[in-house]
Amino acid sequence: MNFLLNTLSQRANKKPQETAIVSGKTTLNNQALFNAVTELADQLKPFQFQCIALYMDNSINWVFADLAAMSLGITLIPIPLFFSKGQIQHLIKDAGIEAILCQEFDSEIFAIQERLTLSHAQLVILKNDTKLDSGQLKQVAKITYTSGSTGQPKGVCLSLENIKNVSLALAKTIKDHGIKRHLCIMPLATLLENIAGIYVPLMMENSIQIEPLSELGFEQSSQFNPEKFAQAIECYQPDSLILLPQLLKSVIQLKQTTPSFFNSLKFAAVGGGKSAQSALEKAHELGMPIYEGYGLSECAATVSLNTPDNNKVGSVGKVLPHTQVRIDESGEIIVSGQAMLGYLHQDDLNQGQKNNEVHTGDLGYIDDDGYLYISGRRKNLLVSSFGRNIAPEWIESELIHSNNIKQVAVFGDAKPWLNAIITADLSTSNDQITLTLNEINQSLPDYAQVKSWIRSDEAFSTQNQLLTDNGRIRRDAIFSHYKARLDALY
């Protein structure tokens, strides 16, 4: 029995009536959760699947499917709902997916051989001529597809040991902070929410609140309704949740207008991109327990984390006990001790990473107290025509924290000054944006100031391929789209 099924069994035996998961009007106790997972596993077992996918909105059934597949040793691939038709078809073929567990299915996306109704999901068996050799997925418990900054998504292969170690490390790190109820506000298909929002609370004997993302104010992959989000927080009163950096500005504004907002929160982790230090300082000034962390899919989602006991605003916290970090001579962050098995189709997939190391591509340093700091992406580093090295993420994080700028991409490699592509609300005038830029520039050194800018034609999104699945901007795509106008600025 794997570690999570053992956890479910122990919870069911020790406290069968204790609440495990709540969704809408449904409350599931420990015994009911264990029964539902084993029931679905029993229904899946006769098919002897090697690799299946999970394609659902956040729900209790998502958790049943995830845990049932894990209990049978089936390689599971969660598919984000915001993946495009082309991306989904690519990964079905790429991974040789045999079937999909879903609530609804789209015949335009899936080539269906057979559809069956199971106890907690629809099982769609696919017509798929591509099937991977059984030995290739021998140790792979989960494949998480990361859309990256360019090209087709790549499959990051994680073992059960990877998942177990990071889950145990997170549980140990946050166990003394009074957390009893976690609210999932990121897609469960996102590895960070899957591990930190499902596995860790289950291991800590906490309860989990799961609602469809639209009920929480996430109406599309890049559309957010702060009023609806505030209502959800007030209704569910969570102790913990996970935020993306682009939500940080909104929750701070909500706290400023409604002082009781977030009062139930004991711990909110923010990760998935660079957060403005000024925003984190403001959050703490308002008494909001928001702590920045760092990780990547290749390291099973989490590498370091600030906590109430150990926190330095501006850092991404201390490295978790299950892993090690070093900084190489170029300033790149190298993670070891908890690397992925590899990328799907890698020749030595089941041998793990060479030297068990992941070259993150991120630049950073570790201070004397052991806190890790992220400077930016190595490949994104801009070198001005005056020879200054500039990490655009640093400037972007400060700009996004302002009220008038929603999204921004900073450019200026080999140029005398920096420029930016800026997304703003329709109600925000160009003069307001210019005024905001001038104010922020005063806090930046002259070489890092944005001297010219262009208003974007539309918001960066996954639909127009200008945003990755986890909310990061696609720099190359944005630069290509606006290149002529950017060149005209000089």
What pLDDT score was predicted for residue 87?
81
What confidence tier does 272 reach under pLDDT thresholds 50, 70, 90? confident
Q: State the Cα–Cα distance between residues 32 and 17, nearest whole angstrom.
A: 9
Structural domains present in the chain? 3-9+27-160 (3.40.50.12780), 169-339+354-376 (3.40.50.12780), 381-487 (3.30.300.30)
What pLDDT score was predicted for residue 354?
57
> Which DSSP string do the residues of 379-446 spell out, in sequence order?
GG-EE-TT--EE-HHHHHHHHHTSTT-SEEEEE-TTSSSEEEEEE--TTS-HHHHHHHHHHHHTTS-G
Phi then psi dihedrals of residue 140, to 5 deg: -85, 115
What confidence tier does 472 reach under pLDDT thresholds 50, 70, 90? confident
CA-based torsion, 170, 160, 348, 144: positive or negative: negative
What pTM was estimated for this model as a whole?
A: 0.87
Strand, helix or coil at 331? coil
The distance between the two most distant Cα atoms of the chain, rounded to a whole number of Å, is 69
What pLDDT score was predicted for residue 353?
55
Strand, helix or coil at 262? coil
The token pair that represents 340 in the structure block:
């992925």
Q: What is the pLDDT of residues 140-170, one digit of tens each?
A: 999 999 765 445 678 999 999 999 999 999 9
User: How large is the average pLDDT for residues 457-481?
Assistant: 90
Q: State the Cα–Cα distance between residues 490 and 484, nearest whole angstrom.
A: 11
What confidence tier does 84 reach under pLDDT thresholds 50, 70, 90? confident
The token pair that represents 472 in the structure block:
């990061």
What confidence tier does 470 reach under pLDDT thresholds 50, 70, 90? low
Q: What is the pLDDT of residues 431-455, one digit of tens each?
A: 999 999 999 999 898 889 999 999 9
C-beta neighbour count of 260 within 10 angstroms: 10
Q: What is the pLDDT of residues 2-59, one digit of tens each?
A: 999 999 999 999 999 999 999 999 999 999 999 999 999 999 999 999 999 999 999 9
Q: pLDDT at residue 352 above 80?
A: no
DSSP secondary structure code for residue 315 in this structure? B
Amino acid at 450: V
**β-bridge mates for residue 142, sequence order:** 76, 158
| 55 close to 124: Cβ distance less than 8 angstroms | no
What confidence tier does 350 reach under pLDDT thresholds 50, 70, 90? low
Q: State the Cα–Cα distance between residues 487 and 490, nearest whole angstrom.
A: 6
Please report, for residues 45, 100, 353, 436, the alpha-carbon distance to residue 428 in angstroms, rounded to integers and kept in the order given: 56, 44, 48, 11
